[in-house]
Amino acid sequence: MAAALRSGRRFPLVLLPAVAGPGRPGRLGSLGAAMQQPAALPARPGGPEGGAQAGGAQAGGGGWLGALRFDNLALRSLPVDASEDGGPRAVPGACFSRVRPSPLQNPRLVAMSLPALALLGLEAPAADREAAEAEAALYFSGNRLLAGSEPAAHCYCGHQFGSFAGQLGDGAAMYLGEVLGPRGERWEIQLKGAGLTPFSRQADGRKVLRSSIREFLCSEAMFHLGIPTTRAGTCVTSDSKVVRDIFYDGNPKSERCTVVLRIASTFIRFGSFEIFKPTDEYTGRKGPSVNRNDIRIQMLDYVISTFYPEIQEAYSDNSIQRNAAFFKEITKRTARLVAEWQCVGFCHGVLNTDNMSIVGLTIDYGPFGFMDRYDPEHICNGSDNTGRYAYNKQPEICRWNLGKLAEALVPELPLEISELILEEEYDAEFEKHYLQKMRKKLGLIQLELEEDSKLVSELLETMHLTGGDFTNIFYLLSSFSASSFSDPSELEDFLEKLTSQCASVEELKVAFKPQMDPRQLSMMLMLAQSNPQLFALIGTKANINKELERIEQFSKLQQLTAADLLSRNKRHWKEWLEKYRVRLQKEIESVSDADAWNTDRVKVMNSNNPKYILRNYIAQNAIEAAENGDFSEVRNVLKLLENPFQEAEGFREVKEDAEEEGATATAAACTQETRSRLPYCSKPPLWASELCVT
């Protein structure tokens, strides 16, 4: 679930979890020797849905979607639950359960990603776009089944916020099958939000418009940023409604059921291997397939031969060596993935083991967020009370999750082998990839010096001190010249640009506003002194210290003027720019043609520092428009995010006066028309700081 707060009003943003707690359901698949086309789906009460025949959804796909070629290898390779009970239940001895999508009323397309659909060999007909969109809505809502598809739900477990949660599984997503792309590559496609599965627990298997738009847009945004990710082909909404108590405050509301078509080589995750876990000593929970090492072997054979064929070929006669090579590769892929996240300020928000891809993709977009003002302790998930998944914790959490995967592979990979691999490979791979990426972001393309790591750290510290916008500061640096210090007016102009991307006094007051009731804080402080053991059970020292720091900062801000803040920020940035100038000068001295070097430097920087990211306020504006029946903003933002490094053409950008107007207007006066005037690349308006995704 997610929520946005603006001047006392609340606006929903993200998704409601299937059960109490921050974890989210996953994905489905089903398996069996007899791969028959599932029977027609029963119609919902009230008659046919969205053009489906009165008898229910039919298998077909004779239009532009009829070109899809299915070959459902996962269902031939892994065990499928034989039970026909579609209700929530434990699923022992299987990786998949057969399921059937539940039809929706009047499905209609919100948006589709043509680059993502092209992976499947699909190209929307230009002649009759309206008919193509209607067909996409019909099949990618789950109202009709594509010929060759075999809907299924995948069984997995997971450690959620550090504790083993037992069976989770695809509570709202459905594997449709595997499509062979134009070049023979294999793509699993699934519908997220298509209805009940055996893993839905107390939920309804549905997703709503706000969460679906966020997942759809972010999946594509990450791909175009060059970050490994699952893809999103379509977003389809409907007139069917579900009730969500968004804030758990006793004020439920009806929201539109919405389905996202997700695409990836596979949606198998770390938690897929945790179904064999015996009873956990802390939670008392266990996986549904304890003592089924035969299935673990099947899963390893399938995953490695299908997604790591070079490893299977190299170690076909030694399973331990093969499994070790596989674990080493997923360790390195995961390290590189989280390094990429850190370099664009992306926070996943819920890095449970069931949300970690077995092939190193960003997977399951829920309470994610791109960081605006740089804060190493930034928490994008409002329900992450301890900051377990904060921005600066992501690298160590991903390593912890790999440790849980290592445990899940025993006895097929002895723990002493996997632990040594993790120790030797993870940190080294992360640090190497992170620094390589940061060098590109800073235009250090000629030399690799030991001092570069310190320069990056000092840049981030300067961003932190000044409240700099992570994305926009990096984007601006390509216009900095090593000769700027020789021209005071040029340097001053650049400092003005940098400081315009730093937090204002008003923004800092919002950021450091105390969050605890003073009486509660006083009570906690007294308890910490009088009964440390009880205090440890109900509160954390880190949270209390952070609140005390917040109070101190907020008090100081009451005395700080805008002029003083500007002067201080310029001083900090001038100090760092001098260090950056010295480092650039070393680059210049190592080349024979400084002009050619500078051209290459700017080119590299502009292809590694995005101008556009999916900021929360941009997503929120698109969501609000869509909830009012206008899907154009979702489609506009999608097109923008397909070219994140380039100046947008055809998108109305405005100057800083409009940006300032949007940043200072109150929520009551900030109409949709005013908000839409903000440039998509602008530092977020003040109301955006009240957005909270949970």
Q: How far is CA 498 from the centre of its chain?
A: 28
Higher pLDDT, 663 or 484: 484
Q: Which of 338, 355, 362, 370 is nearest to 264 (CA)?
A: 362
Mean pLDDT of 671-691: 73
Instruction: Place 27 in a pLDDT band, splitting at 50, 70 and 90.
Output: very low
- Local structure of 489: helix, strand or coil: helix
CA–CA separation, 174 vs 191, rounded Å? 5
Report the range out of 31-40, 389-398, 509-518 with the highest average pLDDT: 389-398
User: Which listed residue (354, 364, 384, 469) is catalytic?
Assistant: 354
Q: Which of 258, 290, 262 is nearest to 274 (CA)?
A: 290
pLDDT of residue 44: 32
Please report how many Cα atoms fall inside a 13 Å half-sphere around the Cα of residue 638, on the Cβ side.
Answer: 25
8 A C-beta contact, residue 455 and residue 442: yes
Q: Which of 455, 469, 475 is nearest to 501 (CA)?
A: 469
| Gyration radius (Cα) of the chain, Å | 26
Q: Which of 104, 106, 126 is nearest to 114 (CA)?
A: 126
Least confident of 51-65, 297-311, 376-390: 51-65
Instruction: Place 60 in a pLDDT band, splitting at 50, 70 and 90.
Output: low
pLDDT of residue 552: 85
Both structure tokens of 314: 């190299």
Instruction: Place 511 in a pLDDT band, splitting at 50, 70 and 90.
Output: confident
- pLDDT greater than 80 at residue 527: no
Q: Give first-to-last CA distance, the chain, whole Å.
A: 5
Least confident of 52-61, 102-111, 293-302: 52-61
Q: Looking up tokens 């299987």, which residue turns up?
A: 94
Q: Which of 416, 389, 388, 390 is nearest to 403 (CA)?
A: 416
- pLDDT greater than 70 at residue 303: yes
- pLDDT greater than 70 at residue 539: no
109-138: burial string, b at 16+ Cβ within 10 Å, e else: bbbbbeebbebbbbebeeeeeeebbbbbbb
Burial of 352 (0-12, 13-18, 19+ CB in 10 A): buried
Least confident of 32-41, 245-254, 502-511: 32-41
Annotate 190-231 with DSSP letters as a single string.
EEET----TT-TTS-S-EEHHHHHHHHHHHHHHHHTT--B-E
8 A C-beta contact, residue 474 and residue 609: yes
CA–CA separation, 354 vs 156, rounded Å? 7
pLDDT of residue 421: 98
Dihedrals φ, ψ of 231, to 5°? -115, 170
pLDDT of residue 396: 98
8 A C-beta contact, residue 161 and residue 177: no
8 A C-beta contact, residue 14 and residue 153: no
Residues 172-212 have pLDDT tens digits of: 999 999 999 999 999 999 999 999 999 999 899 999 999 99
pLDDT of residue 461: 98
Residues 83-94 have pLDDT tens digits of: 878 789 999 999
Burial of 435 (0-12, 13-18, 19+ CB in 10 A): middle
pLDDT of residue 339: 98
Q: Looking up tokens 């849905």, which residue turns up?
A: 49
Instruction: Place 38 in a pLDDT band, splitting at 50, 70 and 90.
Output: very low
Mean pLDDT of 485-504: 94
CA–CA separation, 26 vs 152, rounded Å? 12
CA–CA separation, 408 vs 273, rounded Å? 6
- Categorise residue 141: left if φ over 0, alpha if ψ from -120 to 50, beta otherwise: alpha
Which residues are registered as beta bridge partners of 469? 373
- pLDDT greater than 60 at residue 31: no
Instruction: Place 59 in a pLDDT band, splitting at 50, 70 and 90.
Output: low
8 A C-beta contact, residue 266 and residue 306: yes
- pLDDT greater than 90 at residue 639: yes
Burial of 588 (0-12, 13-18, 19+ CB in 10 A): middle
Instruction: Place 62 in a pLDDT band, splitting at 50, 70 and 90.
Output: low
Tell me, yes or no, if 384 is annotated catalytic. Answer: no
pLDDT of residue 650: 56
pLDDT of residue 513: 87
Instruction: Place 486 in a pLDDT band, splitting at 50, 70 and 90.
Output: confident
pLDDT of residue 554: 84
Average model confidence (pLDDT) for the chain?
A: 87
| Dihedral, CA of residue 465, residue 466, residue 471 and residue 474, to nearest 10 | -90
Percent of the chain with pLDDT over 90: 72
CA–CA separation, 144 vs 493, rounded Å? 59
8 A C-beta contact, residue 395 and residue 347: no
Classify the C-alpha dihedral 617-622-628-630 as positive or negative. Answer: positive
- pLDDT greater than 80 at residue 672: no
8 A C-beta contact, residue 497 and residue 477: no
8 A C-beta contact, residue 340 and residue 317: no
8 A C-beta contact, residue 395 and residue 489: no
